[in-house]
Structure 1
Amino acid sequence: MPMLWSLLLVLLLTALGWLLSRRTPWGRQLGMTMVVLLLGLLVSNLGGVQLQAEAAGWVNGPLTSLAIGLLLLAVDLRRLWPQARQLLGPFLMAALSTVLGVLLGAWLLHPLLGDDRSVLAGMYTATFTGGSLNFVSVARTLNPPETLLTLATAADYVVFAVWFAVSTWLGLRADTPVDAAWADSPPSDQPERSWWLAGLWGLAVLVLAQALSAVLPFVPSILVLTTVALLVAQLPAPASRRGCYGLGLLLIQPFFTVMGLSSPVAGLLGEGLPVLLYAAFVVLVQALLLLLLFRRWLRWPLAETLVASQASIGGPSTALALATAIGRAELAVPSVAIGLLGYLLGTYLGLGVAWFLPG
């Protein structure tokens, strides 16, 4: 398939995913990221479509870098604590449980994972501490083989989808009162009118990060981009960056469309089975430690614990989706805030674990 047609296919599937995620009940429950991934999976696995490598490289390269910068420009550290503190404890324990699950799984499954375990450990530490933005960042730095990246991405989303469904079921069964202090919180996913200004901020961060990477070749480029974006996010005039999160969330969706188009589901039950087992093990360890140990010990409400776990496993958008799905709209703003904290931590944790753990 020529590059132009490949890019057009990615654009059409992403646009269709956007439409379905807003116009259908099931799409609103799943969220745009899951919808575009599923569309890509269906087209590739049922239609046999092969995406052109240059098109995938353009989406995964400049476009995704811009999206990462925009998403991190939304992390205003001055507002993060007041909004996120009610979920901070469960989230930090979720992140700790992820690291423990990654290390234990890497040890137990070493005979099956072989030399790939350090790369997988880094990617799964990152993605299960803040969502797929961190997965993308760490994967681009560690540069795993395309086949391994495809299997790891597919396993990530299969496990995520199962945990999201289980969390929704548990959350709907929880008898938890609505906190009046959050009952009138404005929705945090309203479309912004300042996307053009956000785009200028994103481009400026991208250019600055590339210039710094040129003079700091010994520092991974994603760490330069992450650090520059976080520093710029603390500058005055935050209103001018109000649209950064919404635009970044939209621009990162083609990455998941490409991953869906590049993910052979059948491969997960063959050569990808060890990767799937590893991803499932990490999420299972987090769930058991968080729900059966830390929650009971520290007496956290079930709904708050589940939302914090989802912010760790899937990121702010899926935490927001879970809070809405279980009827806890007052957790919407805190879920996004704590998810942004995951953006802040996940890339650094993932790279640290990958470099600490031998292959």
Structure 2
Amino acid sequence: MDSLIKPEDTWLLWAFLVGWAALSIFLEQKYKWAAKISGAVIALIGALILANINIIPTAAPAYDAVWSYVVPLAIPLLLFQANLKKIWNESGRLLLLFLISSVGTVIGVYLAFIALKDTIPFLDKIGAMMTGSYIGGSINFAALSVKFHTPGEMVSAAVVADNLMMAVYFFVLMAIPAIPFFRKKFQTPHIDEVERNEAAGETQASSYWKPKSVSLKDIAFAFGSAFAIVAVSFKLAEIFASIIPSGDDASVFMNILAGIFGDKYLMLTTITIIVVTTFSRFFEKLQGTQEFGTFLIYIFFVVIGVPASIPELIRNAPLLLVFVFIIVLINMLITFGFGKLLKFNLEDMILASNANIGGPTTAAAMAIAKGWTRLIVPIMLVGTLGYIIGNYIGSMMGYLFESML
């Protein structure tokens, strides 16, 4: 059945994609009910409904442009604050706990895949995406979904299950400090400090989030740098892919080498990190890069809702919810288990697990909401590391799962 808006109506489709992404962000920040659902799910569901009632087409050149250009541009923009030296020097022991929590994600994904690989289609691809997402964030989810060519309806189902699970898990993490068992069994210096300050009326946590001053130069340098990095990275990956033998006739080593150096998203991540770490002063001065990158990712969330079939969502999302539940449960057990063993504070464990499952932004938001002001910058830095390693580990898990099917 033909849609009201035709695939060739490029400007109308771009108006919808960008407009609905903007509205999703507005609703998420304005209303509590929308924040609980998350802007990502609002963006997806809006596109899903309009596609299923034939208002917008299920395939169009505008959507292809988002996959080909918008997602690659979002990656360096979100990585511009990922200075490896700064992460290592300023984050202390929290970095160790974050990496332990990442191991929990990998183990959880592996066990969930073993348990459900015969019941959920394309689980090798989804497993790769969720590994990247539950170590880094939506940037890794987006990059790996493109890399492994995951069908749109499965991406949409995974987003629904993922966001529902995250919403439940964040509620659990927010509630943990109020549970007597955890207060008795774990050290809670930041919670104790907040309680003392609140008693004295001195808490300043709510004043942390303020609008940034973004200049025209910031916008020019941010997008100019992003375009240049994407262009160089993709060209290098193309060159390596053409000169490194791969396929059935090549050795396992050469196939792995081709998979690493010939992969444009891994190359993009690597080049970005090298450039950002080398020219850290330049990128640290750029304002608004996180906001620019996040907005582009929201456009991606709109697009992945377009090809979603509602019957497919009903059939696949419940099973995928079980899949992500196993991942989150194992992550939590390993994070809190080793955190207790290594004598970490309860706040460190909560934020490390949050930074894995939700990303640095949600972890920082939780630290701010709780008033743990001294942990805001460290968890942002540590969580940013997840953006860096998420694509690598997600890719490795994807190749492993592919070989197991």
What TM-score do you get using the length of structure 2 for normalisation? 0.78
Unaligned runs of at least 5 residues, structure 1: none
Equivalent in 58, 65, 89 of residue 96 of structure 2:
89
Task: Report matched runs for 1:1-359 at 5 Å.
Answer: 1-2=5-6, 3-24=10-31, 34-42=38-46, 44-45=48-49, 48=53, 49-53=55-59, 54-113=61-120, 116-171=122-177, 176-178=191-193, 187=208, 190-193=211-214, 194-217=218-241, 218=258, 219-236=262-279, 237-263=282-308, 267-291=312-336, 293-357=337-401, 358-359=404-405
Give the direction of change, closer, same or farther, for the CA distance of 1:234–1:189 in structure 2 (3 Å limit).
farther
Say how many residue pairs are matched. Answer: 353
Percent of pairs with identical residues: 25
Give the direction of change, closer, same or farther, for the CA distance of 1:10–1:288 in structure 2 (3 Å limit).
same
Tell me whether 164-173 or 41-50 shows the greater mean CA deviation. Answer: 41-50
Q: Confirm or deny: 8 A CA contact 2:140 2:390 kept in the other structure.
A: yes
Secondary structure in structure 1 of the residue aligned to 2:92: helix
Give the direction of change, closer, same or farther, for the CA distance of 1:121–1:341 in structure 2 (3 Å limit).
same
Q: CA deviation at 1:119?
A: 1.8
Q: Confirm or deny: 8 A CA contact 1:13 1:36 kept in the other structure.
A: no
Q: Which amino acid aligns with 2:290?
A: Y
- CA deviations 1:299-324 (Å, max 9, x no partner) are 32222211111111111111122222
Q: Confirm or deny: 8 A CA contact 1:41 1:264 kept in the other structure.
A: no
Query: 2:250 is matched with which residue?
Result: none
Distance in 2, matches of 1:262 and 1:160, equals 23
Q: Confirm or deny: 8 A CA contact 2:153 2:307 kept in the other structure.
A: no
Give the direction of change, closer, same or farther, for the CA distance of 1:327–1:50 in structure 2 (3 Å limit).
farther
Q: Which amino acid aligns with 1:110?
A: K
What TM-score do you get using the length of structure 1 for normalisation? 0.87
Distance in 1, matches of 2:14 and 2:264, equals 25
Distance in 1, matches of 2:211 and 2:374, equals 15
Q: CA deviation at 1:132?
A: 1.4
Distance in 1, matches of 2:132 and 2:91, equals 20
Distance in 2, matches of 1:223 and 1:162, equals 31
Distance in 1, matches of 2:212 and 2:165, equals 29
Distance in 1, matches of 2:285 and 2:227, equals 14
Q: Confirm or deny: 8 A CA contact 1:101 1:282 kept in the other structure.
A: yes
Q: Which amino acid aligns with 1:98?
A: T
Give the direction of change, closer, same or farther, for the CA distance of 1:4–1:159 in structure 2 (3 Å limit).
same
Distance in 2, matches of 1:256 and 1:85, equals 34
Q: Which amino acid aligns with 2:272?
A: A
Distance in 1, matches of 2:193 and 2:311, equals 43
Unaligned runs of at least 5 residues, structure 2: 198-203, 242-257
Secondary structure in structure 2 of the residue aligned to 1:229: helix
Distance in 2, matches of 1:189 and 1:55, equals 34
Q: Which amino acid aligns with 2:323?
A: Y
Give the direction of change, closer, same or farther, for the CA distance of 1:330–1:21 in structure 2 (3 Å limit).
farther
Give the direction of change, closer, same or farther, for the CA distance of 1:111–1:17 in structure 2 (3 Å limit).
closer
**Structure of greater Rg:** 2
- CA deviations 1:13-58 (Å, max 9, x no partner) are 222233334444566x659xx2243243156348845454232222
- CA deviations 1:320-347 (Å, max 9, x no partner) are 2222233323322112111111011111
Q: Confirm or deny: 8 A CA contact 1:119 1:142 kept in the other structure.
A: yes
Q: CA deviation at 1:67?
A: 0.8
Q: Confirm or deny: 8 A CA contact 1:172 1:326 kept in the other structure.
A: no
RMSD: 2.9
Q: CA deviation at 1:63?
A: 0.9
